[in-house]
Chains A and B, each alone.
Chain A
Amino acid sequence: MSRIGDTFARLGKTGDKALITFITAGDPDLTATAGLIPRMAAAGADIIELGVPFSDPMADGPTIQKASERALAAGTTLAGILAMVKEVRSSCQVPLLLMGYYNPIYIYGVERFCRDAVAAGVDGVLVVDLPPEESAELKTVADQAGLDVIFLLTPTSDASRIKTVNRLGRGFIYYVSVTGVTGARTALADSLSASVTAIRRQVRLPLAVGFGISTPEQAAGVAVVADGVVVGSAIVKLFEEHRNRELVERVADMVRGLKDGVRSGQNN
Chain B
Amino acid sequence: MKLPDKQGHFGQFGGRYVSETLMPALLELEAAYRKYKNNREFKDEFDYYLKQYVGRPNPLYFAGKLTEKLGGAKIYLKREDLNHTGAHKVNNTIGQGLLAKRMGKRRVIAETGAGQHGVATATIAALFGMECEVFMGEEDIHRQSLNVFRMKLLGATVTPVNSGTATLKDAMNEAMRNWTTYVADTFYVIGTVAGPHPYPMMVRDFQSIIGREARAQHLKAEGRLPDVLVAAVGGGSNAMGLFYPFIKDREVRMIGVEASGYGINSGKHAAPLCAGSVGVLHGNRTYLLQDNDGQISHAHSISAGLDYPGVGPEHAWLKESGRADYVPISDDEAMEGFQTLTMEEGILPALESAHAIAHVLKLAPTMGKDQSIVVCLSGRGDKDIHTVAEAMGVSL
List of B residues within 8 angstroms of A77 by Cβ: 293
Are A58 and B282 in touch, CB under 8 angstroms?
yes
Point out the residue from A54, A103, A104, A131 that lies within 8 Å of B19, measured CB to CB.
A131
Contacts A55-B164, A56-B173, A103-B279 given; does A72 touch B295 at CB 8 Å: yes
Interface residue count for A (Cβ, 8 Å)? 42
Tell yes or no: B70 within 8 A of A by CB: no
Are B164 and A56 in touch, CB under 8 angstroms?
yes
Size range of the chain B interface in the assembly: 35 or more
Tell yes or no: B39 within 8 A of A by CB: no
Tell yes or no: A176 within 8 A of B by CB: yes
What is the 8 Å Cβ interface bit string for chain B, positions 258-289, against chain A (1 contact, 0 not)? Answer: 00000000000000000000011111000010
15 of the cross-chain contacts (CB-CB < 8 Å) are A56-B281, A58-B177, A59-B177, A69-B164, A103-B281, A103-B288, A106-B280, A106-B294, A108-B293, A131-B17, A133-B16, A134-B17, A161-B23, A176-B21, A179-B183
What is the 8 Å Cβ interface bit string for chain A, positions 43-76, against chain B (1 contact, 0 not)? Answer: 0000000000011111111100100010010000
Tell yes or no: A172 within 8 A of B by CB: no
B contacts, CB < 8 Å to A? 7, 15-21, 23-25, 163-164, 169-170, 173, 176-177, 180-184, 279-283, 288, 290, 292-296
Tell yes or no: A107 within 8 A of B by CB: yes
Tell yes or no: A158 within 8 A of B by CB: yes
Main secondary structure of the interface of B (DSSP, over half): mixed
User: Chain A nearest CB: distance from B135 CB in Å?
Assistant: 12
Tell yes or no: A153 within 8 A of B by CB: yes
List of B residues within 8 angstroms of A65 by Cβ: 163
User: Chain B nearest CB: distance from A10 CB in Å?
Assistant: 28
Q: How far is the CA of A102 from the CA of B281 in the complex (A)?
A: 8
Are B163 and A154 in touch, CB under 8 angstroms?
no
Closest to B17 in A: A129
Tell yes or no: A128 within 8 A of B by CB: yes
Are B181 and A180 in touch, CB under 8 angstroms?
yes
What is the 8 Å Cβ interface bit string for chain A, positions 152-195, against chain B (1 contact, 0 not)? Answer: 11111110010000000000000010011100000000000000
Q: How far is the CA of A60 from the CA of B25 in the complex (A)?
A: 18
User: Chain B nearest CB: distance from A69 CB in Å?
Assistant: 8
Are A58 and B19 in touch, CB under 8 angstroms?
yes
List of A residues within 8 angstroms of B176 by Cβ: 58-59
Contacts A57-B173, A103-B290, A106-B294 given; does A179 touch B181 at CB 8 Å: yes
User: Chain B nearest CB: distance from A54 CB in Å?
Assistant: 7
Top 3 closest pairs, chain A to chain B, by CB:
A107-B294, A104-B294, A180-B181
User: Chain B nearest CB: distance from A173 CB in Å?
Assistant: 10
